[in-house]
Structure 1
């Protein structure tokens, strides 16, 4: 104890632990005082323990609880996220009550739940007790708790309340956690990053451990390997989730920072890859600096935490350009030299007019399924303009794959894509769709005046309640091709091409979800805060034959639609515009998306009778003279026309406003792999594979962070 107290001051500084106040404050702090009362809150659920803590207690599982069971309560609580609140307060105030409780928490946990030797049972194999043990001692929980304890123990070594016996118990428990991590390494990408960080934390903090040098060398070797395996050349982490990208990136940069301060160094190549990770969030960021809610990310309006991560990466990589610019909200560094950008490996395509808060923005998700935290959301998008976030992804729901709401939120039914016969996309059973081995197969053209994207989904549709495992059911085979033209003067044109493998009639529904009110009009929809207000609006104007339109919100029957799981952890209505049609054989429908700084102008929409097979055309005209006319075809090569407007390319558009005339023609470019020539597509449907029968890991076959 005396050795630790006198030899850990430098190490405490490495971990950002402030000096211990020699004369205690009499003022108490509210957050640590709540922990002293053993009162804990997560996601709006508060529980106070009377007497000793019951580490496996979960208030969301108790009779009378009104919400859904949240297994993350158990995981969060036993990862000791609350420990830093106590120990930081102890260093700041010198109040020994905080130290006593922190020591109690670690010792009591170890006495009740000693580190098991065997690997925890999987969720599918476990009974209730085994399930709790899995949540507490899976690889992520073990590593997270170990990191929390490293900092906690370092914060307590100079406490007069800490006895040598206490210190031995806590260090022994930490050592056993390290042995467990060595024996049972994580399989999930972001878990492995957290595990490496825990290894480095412990070995830098306590080189006295017998295996510290071996563990540190192993962790650094794994760190380099994980950067290579987890991060695409475009800087995106393979889970394709903005939140877990940041978790992985922060684990990487915290590890780099710590070993650098301890006298070790990594290659410039590694730091360059870390800088690429730091640029990814900037490339997909909305005009306000926040990130789209793709994957299991949640809808957020703030950007401070993302900017803090960027600041750390900028410091470590000595970036003086866009990462620093983003971190400082433009006060330092240089803004990106690009506006629109394609992340070819991740399959993110971002269209924007610039980097100001009122610029126009769309992010399209059109790449691989992802290594974890996947949603069935290919070809979905978010859209913002003039300071408003108009079309959104509703984000995640509680991690409980048995819950119908979880099934809904990961399905296509909760995304801005096309729903076929009320069914969802389903790629979970196609392992080769998860992680990219080459750049994404999509068409991307970016010019000063316009951007163009074309991508497709070709993996079949099934009942959303089948998530996450498969069954003997067969998937309905329909190709969904989505083309997007962004005219940078201020309008998007989205075209959906639907091609079934059978000759039956199908119902196709395109969804447009907004946090703002949506009103149906004669010509389409208007999303915004209401007529007469100065805030911006978005017009959604369909083009096609036989189309029907509706606005739904908080709907349960005949299909769940129009819901978001809010930041306050409750289900809330989400206004959703729906454009639908029933058709047999190939069909198409299109939509003009017109943002305005105020109310929508008077608009008229016409569908054109285009000559040519698998073609569509339309006109948007406003009362003040704006006119946009387009013709397009599903596959280029033939000549399609309307009067004197013709093309053998993918699309041709004429934009005029009475003063100028602009012609945009997308040439006859194709994807690398054309799904329409796939012989398998001739089948009416395809077998739905069961992930468990395919031998996929626990993460992928169940559902956990």
Structure 2
């Protein structure tokens, strides 16, 4: 293996100086360690220090000496802040990297952590290692019990060799020369004819049979391009020079460079190669792939002694995605064209070996671990001639079988609770399943059963128009279809998955109606799958294992072909105030108290974040009514803030009165007087507030509309609309089409003594400028309970009455209706005849001559 060459070394800080001069947040102390007085920091804590000079050139590696007081699962982020600020940025230019402490057996004694320049990825446009203002080390653990001891911090100047590091002789030694397909290679190698052995190996690699191409293609965040544009080096909407620099970052956004180095965009060239009948174009596209791969290998020798940090080339997620979804396409082209040179194939083989071993040595969490494990397995399929190929296959199967039970709930939801990352994991787990089968290996039957549930989950989440809800970091709102789900639907002959994956263009709709995912804590209420159907989503989930938003009890609504109430989604991972806003309660359709939002992240309780919600929520679905209820009973505060409000708890029930409208029943319990705001985020459209009628209404001439009638506790306050506000606080934006776009946020606000009980009647209507629905809510009390009588009068003389018991127990009675359930409903026609009655979580209901007997936790109904 070709090593790095050390050119210079300098101590930037001694451990003692770091302890004296650094600014520390969290629990820091000076400890006697190995005869030295050194800084020890408990997680979560930060250590920030200004270097003695601001120009750290020509050094290109930061070496940090660390010791863990005891092994723990956690990580350290490193941030080098510069004094410069690029135009359009809200923060100074910086460089960041991440190191995981997830191999406890290796973390004994002192560790010399290497942070090369390529690992410290740029945010903005910092000038190399010049103008450095400060360096911050942020350490945290998954159990809040770790302690890190800091020693010296060094600067190194290192020269890296051109990649790959593996020599030709080492490549031959890594092969299983007893394989029949390597007979000629073995003969040359054993005779010492290395060049001829390598040339023979290139032919074997070119002819090796592999599974069909399954990669996901170019990153959908960037506009689709053509093979001809890629040949001109127009890549991911940026024009690059003739000589590619794989660490270029033309827009100052770290995810651009990660996507660039993941090589998904190369699949466009491969697709064009196989689509054209022109021999000249085939040679052109294959030759360009040859150049891209060869230059990438040359500029990116594999890491030695470190995990790759956030280096776009060797961050473990990027490493795995390149193998899972891109390089198989290049190898397929090479099998059909000698324009991909033998030497390029040899370099690819060396790098595939490096990819597998790197991912076995270092790994991340959650979807990263699934991607890394799938890539290890895939390496064994792409180049089965390596002696380690069988080990890679076994390791991938073992790891993924375990993760299928750890990360995927019995209801099929992946525990990050993001449909976007769920889709990614489902595709990786499916690809591993098919690639293992190709190699003659099998996964356990339990793995396959849960794999199909993952795809059922995706199909039954979809809105009638084929778009998806986007809780947590799930991409932009209103994204239609799911090509990965569609591909599996075609392969497995599942027309319901194909329908959801193609947004209804192919296949047939799923048969499922309203559905509750008890482990995920998500529920979907729907009237059907036709384009005019009504659909709602409620998030009653735990925080999720990663990519979380503070969004519990969020509700999204869709009707008559239009998504009205949305989760804003996430536009990017850029450091931007609006992007940070997207992760907060204020960006979701739930409640804030005294302008404070949910702060589950504050607890640091990773076990709770990722636990199942089974048994924690109420759910029932019937012919005339669906009921879903959850509670948020953790603190309120601000992200990163110190003020925390404890005591208030929010319970929300989403009631679908089939097939026409919803009741959203909110109870806030606690003590004292507080300002409570219900937030309603709309897709971009005109929304007006009618203060006198306490109503929010969309204004879409000749299109469907939605009214929100704010009743009960909301009637003592105000209703208003905010769109596209950045100061003094961010409000009124959504992520749409890869951009941040202004969108209206309706706000029902009231200042009152708790408890507060509010009713929002959500009425979609297909035509006209108003729904002509009238609603009222009056207090009701009796015995040990209290509630509201909600009356909804609709056109045609239809009246629905609901007894909602929000407090206590026992029966309530009002307006001829008596019931002891959590919710009772009665519908009367214009002449007063009861045509429908329902009881949720109660023993009995009486309305005139109509009676119902129920049971705890169950929904019972009667239709005339």
| Structure 1 SS opposite 2:700 | coil
Matching residue of 1:416? 589
Q: Aligned pair 1:218/2:413, yes or no?
A: no
> Shift of the alpha carbon at 1:213?
0.9
Secondary structure in 1 matching 2:474:
coil
Between the aligned partners of 2:718 and 2:788, the Cα distance in structure 1 is: 17
Question: 1:309 matched to which residue of 2?
Answer: 485
Shift, 1:146, TM fit = 2.8
Q: What is the deviation of 1:87? A: 3.2
- Say if 1:444 and 1:454, in contact at 8 Å, map to a contact too: yes
Once residues 743 and 680 of structure 2 are traced to their aligned partners in structure 1, the CA distance between those partners, rounded to angstroms, is: 11
May I ask how many residue pairs the two structures share in their alignment?
625
Cα offset, 1:230, TM superposition: 1.6
C-alpha distance 171-331 of structure 1, shift in aligned 2 (>3 A): closer
Alpha-carbon contact 1:146-1:178 (below 8 Å) kept: no
Report matched runs for 1:157-196 at 5 Å. Answer: 157-187=335-365, 189-196=366-373
Q: 1:352 to 1:164 in 2, by over 3 A?
A: closer
User: Residue 448 in 1 paired to residue 448 in 2?
Assistant: no
Say which is worse superposed, 147-156 or 347-356, in terms of deviation.
Answer: 147-156
Contact 1:508 1:580 in 2 (8 A): yes
C-alpha separation in 2, matches of 1:212 and 1:458:
50
SS in 2 for 1:543: strand
Cα separation, 2, equivalents of 1:438 and 1:587: 26
Residues 332 and 144 (structure 1), Cα distance of their counterparts in 2 relative to 1, 3 Å cut: closer
Q: Which one is further off, 570-579 or 91-100? A: 91-100
CA distance in 2, matches of 1:371, 1:254: 23
Secondary structure class of the residue paired with 2:667? strand
- CA deviations 1:626-679 (Å, max 9, x no partner) are 3222232223414333343333321223323326532323234889xxxxxxxx
The normalised TM-score by structure 2 is 0.68
The superposition leaves residues 176-213 of structure 1 with CA deviations (integer Å, 9 ceiling, x where unpaired) of 111101111232x2122222332232211211122111
Aligned residue for 2:285, secondary structure, equals helix
Match of 2:98 in 1: none
Distance 2:372 2:657 in 1: 46
- Asked if the contact 1:443–1:670 (Cα under 8 Å) also holds between the matched residues in 2, the reply is no
Deviation at 1:102, TM superposition (A): 1.8
In the alignment, the residues of structure 2 paired with residue 153 and residue 309 of structure 1 have an alpha-carbon distance, to the nearest angstrom, of 25
Q: Deviations over 1:670-705 (max 9, x none)?
A: 89xxxxxxxxxxxxxxxxxxxxxxxxxxxxxxxxxx
Pairwise CA distance, 1:149: 2.6
After TM superposition, give the deviation of residue 291 of structure 1 in Å.
Answer: 1.2
Matched, 1:31 2:226: yes
1:407 paired residue number: 580
Q: Decide which of 783, 803, 825 is 1:631's aligned counterpart.
A: 803
The residue aligned with 1:552 is 722
Q: How does 1:477-556 map to 2 (within 5 A)?
A: 477-500=647-670, 502-521=671-690, 522-525=692-695, 527-531=697-701, 533=702, 535-544=703-712, 545-556=715-726
Matched, 1:582 2:756: no
The gaps in structure 2 that reach 5 residues or longer are: 1-198, 216-223, 843-854, 858-864
2:521–2:613 contact (8 Å) kept in structure 1? no
Which residue of the partner structure matches residue 675 of structure 1? none
Shift of 1:276: 0.6
* Partners of 1:138 and 1:330 in 2: CA distance: 37
Tell me, yes or no, if the aligned pair for 1:636 and 1:648 is still in contact at 8 Å: no
Question: Please, which of 544, 547, 563 is the counterpart of residue 733 of structure 2?
Answer: 563
User: Is contact 1:249–1:277 with CA below 8 Å preserved after alignment?
Assistant: yes
Structure 2 equivalent of residue 145 of structure 1: 322
What is the deviation of 1:555? 2.0
Q: Which has the higher strand share?
A: 2
8 A Cα contact 1:12 1:155, kept in partner: no
Q: Secondary structure at the match of 2:776?
A: strand
Corresponding residue to 1:118 among 305, 316, 320: 305
Deviations 1:441-489 (A, max 9, x none): 011121111111111001111114x2xxxx6543444201001221114
- The CA deviation string for residues 152-184 of structure 1, in whole angstroms up to 9 with x for no partner, is 134225533444433322221221111101111
After TM superposition, list the pairs within 5 Å mapping 1:86-125 onto structure 2.
86-91=269-274, 92=276, 93-94=278-279, 95=281, 96-120=283-307
In terms of mean alpha carbon deviation, does 592-601 or 378-387 score higher?
A: 592-601
Cα separation, 2, equivalents of 1:438 and 1:351: 18
Question: 1:85 maps to what in 2?
Answer: 268
What do residues 587-607 of structure 1 show as CA deviations (whole Å, max 9, x unaligned)? 111111112221233333333
Cα distance change, pair 5–165 in 1 and its aligned pair in 2 (3 A): closer
Preserved contact between residue 79 and residue 136 of structure 1 (Cα < 8 Å): yes
**Partners in 2 of 1:102 and 1:445 — Cα distance?**
55
Does the 8 A contact of 1:523 with 1:604 survive in 2?
no
Cα distance in 2 for partners of 1:396, 1:59 equals 22
Provide the rounded CA distance (Å) in 2 between the counterparts of 1:415 and 1:30: 34
Gaps of 5+ in 1: 18-28, 62-69, 123-130, 672-705
Judge which range, 225-234 or 432-441, deviates more. Answer: 432-441
CA distance in 2, matches of 1:511, 1:383: 10
Deviating more after overlay: 627-636 vs 201-210: 627-636
Q: Which has the larger radius of gyration?
A: 2
After TM superposition, give the deviation of residue 396 of structure 1 in Å.
0.7
Q: Provide the C-alpha distance between the structure 2 equivalents of 1:56 and 1:445, rounded to a whole number of angstroms.
A: 53
Separation in 1, partners of 2:203, 2:258: 32
Counterpart pick for 1:283 among 455, 460, 464: 460
User: Does the aligned pair in 2 maintain the 1:422–1:559 contact within 8 Å?
Assistant: no
Per-residue CA shift, 1:403-440, capped at 9, x if unaligned? 32222001111111112221221111332331124615
Q: Where do residues 209-248 of structure 1 align in structure 2 (5 Å cutoff)?
A: 209-248=386-425
Contact 2:688 2:721 in 1 (8 A): yes
Task: Report the CA distance shift for 1:270/1:313 in structure 2 as closer, same or farther (over 3 A).
Answer: farther
Whose RCO is larger (CA < 8 A, sep 6+)?
1
CA contact (8 A) 1:4 1:157 kept: no
Give the TM-score normalised by structure 1.
0.82
Residue 539 of structure 1 deviates from its aligned partner by 1.6
Measured after TM superposition, the shift of residue 611 of structure 1 is 2.7
Q: Deviation at 1:332?
A: 8.7
Say which is worse superposed, 3-12 or 482-491, in terms of deviation.
Answer: 3-12
Cα pair distance change 1:314/1:234, threshold 3 Å: farther
1:593 alignment partner, one of 756, 762, 765:
762
Farther-moved stretch of structure 1 (222-231 vs 92-101): 92-101
Match of 1:48 among 234, 239, 245: 239
Aligned match of 2:530:
356
CA contact (8 A) 1:608 1:616 kept: yes
Matches for 1:261-410 after TM superposition, within 5 Å: 261-299=438-476, 301=478, 303-306=480-483, 308-313=484-489, 315-316=491-492, 322-323=496-497, 326=500, 336-400=510-574, 402-410=575-583
- Correspondence for 1:697: none
Aligned equivalents of 2:352, 2:490: Cα separation in 1: 32
Alpha-carbon distance change, 507 to 353 in structure 1, aligned in 2, over 3 angstroms? closer
